[in-house]
Structure formats: C-alpha cells, structure tokens
Amino acid sequence: MKSLETLILSGCSSLIRFPEIDGKMERLKTLDLSGCYRVESLSDNLQQAKFLEELDWSETTITEPPSFIFKLKNIKILSFNGCKGPSSKLRPNLPSLFKVFQGRRTNPMARMLPLLSCLSSLRELKLRDCNLCEGDIPSDIYCLYSLTDLDLSGNNFISIPASLTGLSKLESLELSNCNMCTLGEADIHGLSSLRYLYLRGNNFITIPLALTQLSRLDSLQLSSCMKLKSLPELPTSIKDMRIDDCASLKVVASLSNVSNLVDLDFIRAINCFKLAENIKALTLLKRHLKGFANSRKKFEVIMPGSEIPDWFSQQK
C-alpha cells in the first residue's frame, strides 16, 4: 500500500473500525470516512501519512482524534460535518452545577478546535451540524493563515463569532441555520477577502450597515430569514443576491438604485411579496433592463408577480 494516494470508504455503514492496512501509506493524500457512523477511532498507521491533504470523517462517531492529526503539516481540507457532542438544545435545562463545567468544553468538537491552530496549510474547514455554540470558536483561529473556506452552518451562535474576523484570507463563510439574531459588534471589515457569505435560515430582523465594508463580496445569501425586514446599502461588488422566502422583507436599500450595483447578475426574491409590492417590482425590472440596454451581459431577476408588463412584446 505504499503507493496508495486516495482511500474512499464513504458510506460504509457496516465498518466498525478503520481497516488494518499493511504498509505505511506514506503517499496517502485523501482519506474519506464520511458516513461510516460506527467508526469511533482512526488507525495509528495514519501517522505515517505525512503527505495527507484531505481528511473527511463527517458523520462518524470519532470524538477524540489522535494527536498526530495536528502534526500533519500538509493537510488542506478537514471535514467534521455532523460530528456532534452533547446536544446544545438540552443545555438550558441542565442543573446549574453542570453549567459551571460547561465552560470546560464538554463538547468533544469544541475541545478539539484549539488544537487546529498549528495547521497553517489548512484551506477548508467544515464543521456543519457539530453542536458548537458561543465561545467554542477559539480566539487564535486567526492562526489558520491559509484558510479560505469555513462552514459553520447548523450550529448555535447568537451572532458571528468575533474571533472569525481575524481570518483575512477567508473567501467563503457559511453560517446558515445557526439561530443568529444579529451579526453582532464584530469588526467585520477584518474579513477583507470575503467573497461568499451564506446566512440562510437565521433570525435577523435587519443587517448592519457594516456589511458595505466587505468590498470584495460577490454573493450574499439570506434565503429563509423569515424575520428579516430590511437590508442596508450593499457593497457595489455584489453579483449574486438571494433573498427567497424572506416573508417579512419590505426594504432593500440597494434595489431602489440598481445603477449602483453595476456588477449584479442575479437577484432572486421568490415569495418576497411585501418587497415586490413596496418597491414596485416591474418598475425596478424595467430600470434594470435599461441599464443593460447596450450590453450582452447575461443577468437574471426573479421576483413574485402576477402580470406581464405591457412593454413586453410577447404577452402570451
């Protein structure tokens, strides 16, 4: 097995332990154990895999990773999606004495996170649905100098963890379905390289004006934020905005002056009936089309409505 570079065991639901493999697996670059929900530990043989670049143990029962994992200097992608500790939904009902120990990181994933700071080559970190909450994101996460993609969706945050703003090379941040009520007071302009921001399914009422500081932001996704009522002026760099199923949304400041959003290719606002009524969607569409009258650039605008504008030549 000395020449083995890729080992995919994804979905092997009958696998109980990592198989004993002859050889040192020195050339192994990719190991995928996702969906092997009975696997509880990794083989010590893997400490010889010095060139390992991608490791996925999503939806396994591995809670205590071996220490050699944090010495893999070439690791670029780590995926722990669905690796849950004690359910955070039960925490408010726990005895007060137990709450005292809560700060000692009872969630195995939370205990592991501070150990990641030495992985300076890490580019992608996926921690979706891991029962993480406020305080679980370590303050020195900024030491992950190469990190470009971070997925924290499905966890429990009141606001964006302040420590994330030190990730100056981060390009994609997923915080969907995290029960967030605000982006908080975090110094968001520290995310100076951010291009994709996913905030779907949260409990925002409004988004802070600080969002305009993200001068490289290409895509903003806020679909299914049912309580969202208004959006501020958006960065002019926005190309893709999705606000589907934001039933309470009435005001999007940037849509009132679409000429400011010179790069906007795609607006999707399905089921945003209050917004469509408030901004007179057909009028907005006509203004947007005029802005591209002499351009071959492709763009899409999707908003609710029940009539065809009279300036459309095809009425049927």
Predicted pLDDT of residue 90? 37
Q: Bridge partners of 301?
A: 267
Q: Which band of pLDDT confidence, cut at 50, 70 and 90, is reported for residue 100?
A: very low
Query: In order of start, what are the domains of the chain with their CATH numbers?
Result: 6-231 (3.80.10.10)
C-alpha span between 274 and 304 (Å, rounded): 10
Q: Find the mean pLDDT for residues 50-72.
A: 87
Which pair of structure tokens corresponds to residue 12?
């092997």
Of 146, 143, 197, give the one whose Cα is nearest residue 169: 146
For 123-140, the pLDDT digits (tens) are 999 999 999 997 899 989
Residue 163 has pLDDT above 50, yes or no: yes
For 283-295, the pLDDT digits (tens) are 666 666 665 556 6
